[in-house]
Structures are given as structure tokens and as C-alpha cells.
């Protein structure tokens, strides 16, 4: 039996549980669906964040996902699709900002073609603002937006809200930086249902959290991705690493050697810019650390 195309609705998958999917339609209703038999063979398993068309539920039956729209990007672990933006959270207090981890996450955002935003939380712990200032200086040349906030005092939260509008955003960063605290401030009232679960339950520590989309406003979602800060980065081809550094791109073609990796090569424009203080020294040192790591990984993979 073929499906009447005009009966189909479109929606976005909020979460999947054991072969069932919660699909939010344009009117804000959540439908429990399963997936059409052949769908897995054709495009694989439906993922949280997928834009789908589905046949709405009838009588006692569930709805059925018929098609999945092509994905903008796709994460394997956690399984998720179509994330527009990554907000990387670090702190101006404790735990002290792990800038190497930050750089890894920024590289990941570039690889997945997500917009990246830096969020410095716990600014209440940085009375003279020196830590914040140091981080801002370190990342000024990258062009990434930097937001200073305090989840504790609910300060600067509006600046995050403004960046979320119309997008699917994920939060990344080491344990204890305040991701949960920030997400709770960004979600509307406690009474809001997220895929049938209350906000409290959804983010609760007592339930097994799964990858899910939380509604932060019309067309605005936060992708809650437990375990996200734990993933392993694989940089891939060492020669491509510099592509993930927006501030290095404008120096392309200015080094003496074609294919300069801005490491030890003579007459390197990037190293020159670092020496002259145009580019941050620490960020370049970490770049070189990741470069040697990438070379090592590459060697192991292909030797
Ligand atoms: N002083 C201060 N403390 C904060 C702030 N934001 C969060 N905290 C505290 O920092 C601790 C960790 O916050 P969480 O929101 O659980 O951090 P998380 O990043 O979600 O941690 P994981 O779930 O382990 O990844 C909690 O005790 C919070 O109360 C802030 O802006 N200022
Ligand atoms: Zn160079």
C-alpha cells in the first residue's frame, strides 16, 4: 500500500527510545512514531534532530516516519543530526579553563560545520575580570563570539538566548563548568513538557539521560548530549589541521613553503605573526601539540 503524500506531516525528531521516535510537528504537537520498514536500509536509523515527514497516528496506532530529509551534519556518538551551533563552555573560576580541550572542541565544531561560540561562565568568581580578559585576548583573532556569563547570578544569559534563536545548539565543555545550570536558565518555565518529560526529569541526574532536543523557543532547540565532552577527537590528516583555525586562514599562501604547516618551517607567516603578537602564542603552541598528535595518529593508521 502506498502512502498518500498529502497525508504526510513534517516534523523534527526530539528523541528516540527503543525504535520509537517523538516527532514534534509544526503546530507544536508531539507524535509518537515508528519508522517505515525500509527506511533503515535506505538512509539508516532516524536520529535525534532529523527532519522527517510522517504519517500521523490513527486510532490506537502510532505514527510512522516515511522520509528523512538530507542531513546537514551527523554525529555518531552521541547519535544526532543537524546541529547548527556549538557553545563551548569554559569558566573564569573553577574548574580552570582547559584551553587544549577548548581547542579540540572548536576543531570538532569546524569539522562538523557548526558555528562555534565561546561562553565564559562563572564570571562571578573572577572579581577583577583578569581571567576573562586573558581568555578573550587568547581568542580575539579567531573571530569566534565570546560571551561572558554567570549562571549563578543569571548574568549575561540574554546574550546566549539571542544566539540560540532559530537554531539547534549543543553545549560542550568539561564536567562542572555549568552546562546544566546554563541550559536550565535557557529553557522556558518548568511546566514545559519536553517530549512528554518535565524539564526537571529531562535534565535530572537520577534518570538515564539520552540525547534529546529540548525546546527553548519557536524553532529554537538545545541538543542535550550527555557524554558529549567525553568523545575522542580524531583530527585526521595533519595537513588539514590548520583549516580548522579561522585566524590562520588569512595567512594562506604567505609562507615560504607551499603546504607549510606553521610548525618549524623557516619563513612561516603564521609564526611571524605569533612572534609579532598579532596571533596568540598559547593557541599556536597548542596547535603544534595537536599537530604532533595528529601526525602520530596518522602514522599509526597508515603504517
Ligand atoms: N560560582 C558559580 N558556580 C556555578 C556557576 N554555574 C554553575 N555553577 C556551579 O558549578 C557546579 C557544576 O555545574 P553544572 O551545571 O552541574 O555543570 P555541568 O557542566 O553540567 O557538569 P557535568 O554535568 O558534570 O558535565 C554546580 O555546583 C553549579 O552550582 C556560576 O556561574 N558561578
Ligand atoms: Zn607557515
Residues 108 and 155 in one domain: yes
Query: What are the grid coordinates assigned to 203, written together?
Result: 535534565
Query: What are the grid coordinates assigned to 274, written together?
Result: 605569533
- What is the rounded CA–CA span in Å between residue 258 and residue 247? 18
Binding residues for GTP are 121-124, 173-181
Tell whether 289 is covered by a domain.
yes
Q: 301 — alpha (psi -120 to 50), left (phi > 0) or beta?
A: alpha
- What is the rounded CA–CA span in Å between residue 301 and residue 303? 6
178 in contact with ligand 1, CB cutoff 6 A: yes
Query: What are the grid coordinates assigned to 291, written together?
Result: 599537530
293 in contact with ligand 1, CB cutoff 6 A: no
Cα 255 to averaged position of ligand 2 atoms, centre (Å): 5
The domain spanning residue 60 has which CATH number?
A: 2.40.50.140
Residues 100 and 226 in one domain: yes
Cα 300 to averaged position of ligand 2 atoms, centre (Å): 25
Please report the pLDDT score of residue 2 as a whole number. Answer: 61
Preceding peptide of 15 cis, ω within 30°: no
Look up the domain containing 109 and give its range.
Answer: 80-230
Query: What are the grid coordinates assigned to 106, written together?
Result: 572548536
Residues 198 and 246 in one domain: no
Smallest Cα–Cα separation from 160: which of 189, 114, 221, 117? Answer: 117
Point out the ligand 1 atom lying closest to the alpha carbon of residue 149.
Answer: 31
Is residue 135 helix, strand or coil? helix
Binding residues for Zn(2+) are 255, 260, 262, 268
Ligand nearest to the CA of 89: 1
Residues 223 and 245 in one domain: no
Tell whether 279 is covered by a domain.
yes
Residues 108 and 190 in one domain: yes
Picking from 176, 204, 230, the residue at the C-terminal end of a domain is: 230
Q: Whose CA is nearest to atom 8 of ligand 1?
A: 178
Tell whether 260 is covered by a domain.
yes
Cα 20 to averaged position of ligand 2 atoms, centre (Å): 51
**Residue 73 and residue 87 in contact, taking contact as beta carbons nearer than 8 Å:** no
Give the chain's domain count.
3
- What is the rounded CA–CA span in Å between residue 137 and residue 140? 5
Pocket test for ligand 1, best of 123, 177, 181 (most atoms within 8 A of CB): 181
- What is the rounded CA–CA span in Å between residue 55 and residue 120? 44
Which residue has 517530549 as its cell numbers? 195
SS (HEC) of 103-130: HHHHHHHHHCCCEEEEEEECHHHCCCCH
pLDDT averaged per 10 residues, the chain (length 303): 79 94 94 94 93 90 94 88 97 97 94 96 98 98 98 97 98 92 87 44 54 93 76 81 96 95 98 98 98 93 81
Picking from 70, 95, 123, the residue at the C-terminal end of a domain is: 70
- What is the rounded CA–CA span in Å between residue 72 and residue 169? 13
- What is the rounded CA–CA span in Å between residue 142 and residue 156? 21
Tell whether 75 is covered by a domain.
no
pTM for the whole thing?
Answer: 0.92
Please report the pLDDT score of residue 143 as a whole number. Answer: 98
Residues 212 and 119 in one domain: yes
Residues 41 and 122 in one domain: no
Pocket test for ligand 1, best of 127, 176, 205 (most atoms within 8 A of CB): 176
Residues 273 and 144 in one domain: no
Residues 15 and 121 in one domain: no
Rg (CA), the chain: 22
Residues 119 and 59 in one domain: no
Residues 163 and 125 in one domain: yes
Q: Whose CA is nearest to atom 14 of ligand 1?
A: 178
Residues 106 and 180 in one domain: yes
Tell whether 15 is covered by a domain.
yes
Please report the pLDDT score of residue 196 as a whole number. Answer: 44
Tell whether 154 is covered by a domain.
yes
Picking from 209, 230, 251, the residue at the C-terminal end of a domain is: 230
Tell whether 180 is covered by a domain.
yes
Ligand nearest to the CA of 264: 2
Amino acid at each position: 500500500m502506498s502512502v498518500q503524500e498529502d497525508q504526510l506531516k513534517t516534523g523534527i525528531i526530539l528523541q528516540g527510545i527503543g525504535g520509537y521516535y517523538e516527532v514534534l510537528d509544526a503546530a507544536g504537537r508531539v507524535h509518537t512514531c515508528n519508522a517505515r520498514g525500509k527506511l533503515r536500509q535506505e538512509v539508516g536509523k532516524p536520529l535525534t534532530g532529523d527532519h522527517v515527514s510522517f504519517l500521523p497516528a490513527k486510532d490506537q496506532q502510532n505514527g510512522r516516519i516515511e522520509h528523512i530529509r538530507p542531513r546537514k551534519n551527523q554525529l555518531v556518538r552521541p547519535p544526532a543530526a543537524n546541529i547548527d551551533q556549538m557553545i563551548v563552555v569554559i569558566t573564569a573560576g573553577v574548574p580552570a579553563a582547559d584551553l587544549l580541550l577548548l581547542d579540540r572542541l572548536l576543531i570538532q565544531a569546524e569539522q562538523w560545520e557548526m558555528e562555534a561560540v565561546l561562553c565564559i561562565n562563572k564570571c562571578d568568581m573572577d572579581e577583577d575580570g583578569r581571567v576573562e580578559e586573558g581568555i578573550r585576548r587568547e581568542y580575539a583573532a579567531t573571530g569566534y563570539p565570546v560571551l561572558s556569563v554567570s549562571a549563578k547570578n543569571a548574568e549575561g544569559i540574554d546574550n546566549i538566548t539571542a544566539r540560540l534563536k532559530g537554531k539547534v545548539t549543543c553545549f560542550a565543555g568539561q564536567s562542572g563548568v555549568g552546562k546544566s545550570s546554563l541550559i536550565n536558565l535557557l529553557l522556558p518555565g518548568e511546566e514545559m513538557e519536553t517530549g512528554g518529560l518535565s524539564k526537571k526529569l529531562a535534565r535530572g541526574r537520577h534518570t538515564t539521560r539520552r540525547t534529546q532536543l529540548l525546546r527553548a523557543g519557536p524553532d529554537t532547540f538545545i541538543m542535550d548530549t550527555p557524554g558529549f565532552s567525553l568523545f575522542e577527537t580524531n583530527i585526521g590528516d595533519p595537513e588539514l589541521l590548520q583549516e580548522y583555525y579561522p585566524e590562520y586562514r588569512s595567512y594562506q599562501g604567505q609562507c615560504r613553503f607551499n603546504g607549510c604547516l606553521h610548525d618549524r618551517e623557516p619563513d612561516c607567516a603564521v609564526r611571524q605573526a605569533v612572534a609579532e603578537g598579532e596571533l596568540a602564542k598559547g593557541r599556536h603552541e597548542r596547535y603544534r601539540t595537536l599537530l604532533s598528535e595528529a601526525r602520530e595518529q596518522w602514522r599509526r593508521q597508515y603504517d
